[in-house]
Amino acid sequence: MRTLITPILLATLALPAFAETQTYKTDAGHTEVRFGWNHVGVSTQHGEFDKAEGVLSIDTADLSSAKLDVTIDAASVSTGFEPLDKHVKSGDFLKVEDYPSIRFVSTSVNQTGDSTADVEGEVTLRGVTVPATLKVELIHQGAHPTAQFFDYYNGEWLGFHAKAEIDTAPFGFAVPVGVLSFDIATEMKAE
């Protein structure tokens, strides 16, 4: 699960050193967590988690102190095919009755470009925690373009796109899946 922290860090480098920690939260209506996997070499399958929440805390004067914490509702998985949704939620895969959430917590941020970064962290799924890297790109920082039409969008916003790949072998799925690729888009609002 790659997330959105690095770009925000990069964009804030130009801000005054007196800045303090700012907290941003994901906007549920504009956050997408898509995933895909190779189905035994026959096709590439995709799905989405409909419910995800993230919190980013960042001090623009010290980007290395930024923290990202994202929680995905495992039961919100949607592949577009109900029998597959039920199977993915079952004990063969996500085992949502025992493990209702998937979580990513950042451990460090490494700037890779003017608006890109690698966010290192840990993903916990089915009670197993593994390292993961989110390749993040900052798409937008500042006032939201639709704030002139809707009061909800007033304030400071960040927009991110992130990608990650996670090997599923450590999670003990009943059927080997291989690597899951994640594609995440989100808008985050300052509190």
Q: Write down the mean pLDDT value for the chain.
A: 89
Confidence of residue 61 (pLDDT cuts 50, 70, 90): low
| pLDDT digit string, tens, across residues 162-190 | 999 999 999 999 988 999 999 999 999 99
How far apart CA 59 and CA 28 sit, in angstroms, is 24
pLDDT band at 3 (very low <50, low <70, confident <90, very high): very low
The whole-model pTM stands at 0.87
Selection from 112, 164, 128 nearest residue 2 by Cα: 164
76-83 mean pLDDT:
97
Position 79 scores a pLDDT of 96
Contact 4, 68 (CB under 8 A): yes
Per-residue pLDDT, 111: 83
For the chain, strand residue ranges (E) read: 21-39, 43-49, 52-59, 67-73, 77-78, 101-111, 116-125, 128-143, 156-167, 179-190
Instruction: Give percent of the chain above pLDDT 90.
Output: 75
11 pLDDT more than 50: no
pLDDT of residue 60: 65
Instruction: Compare 108 and 3 and report the one with higher pLDDT.
Output: 108
Tell me the average pLDDT across 113-133: 95
16 compared with 178, residue with greater pLDDT = 178
User: How far is 123 from 184, CA to CA, in rounded Å?
Assistant: 15
Q: Phi and psi of 145, rounded to 5°?
A: -60, -25
Quick check: helix, strand or coil at residue 171?
Answer: helix
CA-to-CA distance for 168 and 130, rounded, in angstroms?
A: 10
Would strands 67-73 and 52-59 be described as parallel, antiparallel, or unpaired?
antiparallel
CB 158 within 8 A of CB 188: yes
Closest CA to 125 of 74, 54, 50: 74
pLDDT at 47 over 50: yes
CA distance 58 to 5: 9
